[in-house]
């Protein structure tokens, strides 16, 4: 990263004039701006897209379809290797039961997330999506795969990303979201998930997903051992991809839960503070000037996540299940009113955002 060419007051003026900040500016902001200053700048950028006091939320669940995975990421407490005991693949009926429960609780979004399971083909998933569409129609929307799972399915079927995206679309898939990105630097992936995909491949796959007319999102996870420079590189790659495609409907960042993971044991099972998370949310809002919807993570930050609305976020989801993060220490509350009341106490009125009917957020 080049040396900063702007001072803090100059960067502040850039943001006020709606000028884009550089990676070097972002680094200087991170190092020198106070928390109240980050919050104020992020709120200024937020106000370009959202009225003060407004915010939206979803009620959703992650459906972990299989825990069998060959990727062996060292930050994961969820997976079981194919030859090990304890592996599972949810049946269609088990998945329907989870979706029924979600509907009964008032939710309408299921994010599917499983491992790289060599036994499960792309046709298996196409059949599953068809069965869900037949049973639920548009009452439930699916974040059907993460980009990482999509890449594995395509490779496993010897299909190009374009052909795989088309096949899934024909089966009823509408969304393949940014999960599996963690930190998008090649070095981070070599350190922690060498059997996953490279950053270059990740964006090739996401470009094919967008070109097929499927909808997608950007995500990020912080709190491993990544440097500030790596976080900024991730934001910069995300912003550049958005400049090229306009395809990422939202940006969601959450935090690494270390418990029961090999990396967590190595790092002393320490989580970053909520204050650091909120500061990163602010930086993300300021940097990602081309993504209108910035989401804060109730799943990993619980009620503190709502403070993210003061640091540039405008949207959050209330999850009722995610085995991957729960196994690594995340806790979930079904007291939805309590969560919504925290947002209200901070001066925001949360409005439910039905994903199935939702139009893409636009840049004014």
The footprint of ligand SF4 (CB under 6 A) covers: 69, 71-73, 76, 78-79, 115-116, 148, 193, 196
Q: How far is the CB of 148 from ligand SF4 (least distance, A)?
A: 6
- Distance in angstroms (rounded) separating the CA atoms of residues 348 and 342: 9
Q: How far is the CB of 25 from ligand SF4 (least distance, A)?
A: 32
Whether 312 contacts 294, CB under 8 Å: yes
Tell which phi-psi region holds residue 80, choosing left (phi > 0), alpha (psi between -120 and 50) or beta.
beta
- Distance in angstroms (rounded) separating the CA atoms of residues 66 and 72: 14
The tokens describing 18, both together, are: 């709606």
User: Which H helix or E strand runs over 206?
Assistant: helix 199-211
Nearer to ligand SF4, 76 or 209 (CB): 76
Nearer to ligand SF4, 152 or 251 (CB): 152
Q: How far is the CB of 331 from ligand SF4 (least distance, A)?
A: 19
Nearer to ligand SF4, 37 or 74 (CB): 74
Q: How far is the CB of 323 from ligand SF4 (least distance, A)?
A: 10
**Phi and psi angles of residue 318, each rounded to the nearest 5 degrees, phi first:** -110, 105
Nearer to ligand SF4, 254 or 311 (CB): 254
- Distance in angstroms (rounded) separating the CA atoms of residues 33 and 278: 13
Q: How far is the CB of 313 from ligand SF4 (least distance, A)?
A: 24
Nearer to ligand SF4, 78 or 311 (CB): 78
- Distance in angstroms (rounded) separating the CA atoms of residues 143 and 141: 7
Strands (E), the chain: 54-63, 109-112, 141-146, 175-177, 216-222, 248-255, 294-297, 315-319, 349-352
Q: How far is the CB of 79 from ligand SF4 (least distance, A)?
A: 4
Q: How far is the CB of 131 from ligand SF4 (least distance, A)?
A: 23
Alpha helices in 271-335 (DSSP H): 274-287, 298-301, 323-327
Nearest to 240 by CA among 191, 202, 193: 202
Q: How far is the CB of 120 from ligand SF4 (least distance, A)?
A: 13
Q: How far is the CB of 78 from ligand SF4 (least distance, A)?
A: 5
- Distance in angstroms (rounded) separating the CA atoms of residues 260 and 279: 27
Q: Are strands 141-146 and 109-112 parallel, antiparallel or unpaired?
A: parallel
Nearer to ligand SF4, 72 or 269 (CB): 72
Whether 353 contacts 249, CB under 8 Å: no
DSSP 235-255: HHHHHHHHHHH--EEEEEEEE
Which DSSP symbol is given to 337?
A: H
């Amino acid at each position: 990263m080049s040396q900063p060419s702007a001072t803090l007051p100059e960067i502040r003026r850039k943001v006020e004039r709606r000028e884009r900040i550089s990676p070097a500016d972002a680094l200087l902001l991170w190092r020198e701006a106070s928390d109240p200053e980050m919050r104020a700048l992020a709120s200024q950028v937020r106000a370009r897209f959202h009225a003060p006091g407004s915010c939206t939320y979803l009620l959703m669940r992650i459906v972990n379809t299989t825990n069998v995975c060959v990727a062996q990421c060292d930050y994961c407490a969820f997976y079981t290797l194919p030859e090990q005991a304890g592996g599972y693949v949810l049946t269609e009926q088990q998945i329907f039961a989870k979706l029924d429960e979600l509907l009964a609780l008032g939710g309408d979004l299921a994010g599917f997330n499983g491992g790289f399971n060599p036994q499960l083909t792309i046709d298996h998933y196409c059949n599953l999506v068809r069965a869900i569409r037949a049973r639920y129609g548009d009452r439930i929307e699916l974040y059907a795969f993460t980009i990482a799972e999509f890449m594995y399915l395509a490779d496993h079927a010897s299909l190009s990303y374009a052909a795989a995206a088309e096949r899934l679309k024909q089966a009823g898939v509408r969304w393949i979201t940014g999960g599996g990105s963690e930190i998008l630097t090649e070095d981070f992936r070599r350190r922690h998930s060498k059997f996953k995909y490279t950053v270059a491949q990740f964006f090739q796959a996401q470009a094919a997903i967008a070109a097929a007319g499927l909808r997608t999102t950007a995500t990020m996870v912080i709190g491993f051992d990544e440097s500030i420079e790596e976080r900024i590189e991730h934001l910069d790659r995300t912003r550049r991809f958005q400049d090229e495609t306009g395809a990422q409907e939202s940006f969601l960042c959450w935090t690494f839960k270390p418990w029961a993971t090999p990396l967590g044991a190595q790092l002393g099972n320490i989580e970053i503070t909520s204050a650091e998370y909120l500061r990163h949310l602010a930086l993300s809002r300021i940097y990602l000037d081309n993504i209108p919807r910035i989401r804060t993570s109730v799943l990993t930050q619980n009620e503190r996540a709502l403070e993210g609305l003061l640091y540039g976020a405008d949207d959050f989801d209330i999850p009722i299940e995610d085995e991957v993060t729960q196994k690594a220490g995340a806790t979930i509350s079904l007291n939805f009113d309590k969560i919504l009341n925290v947002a209200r106490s901070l001066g925001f009125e949360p409005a439910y955002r039905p994903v199935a009917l939702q139009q893409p957020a636009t840049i004014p």
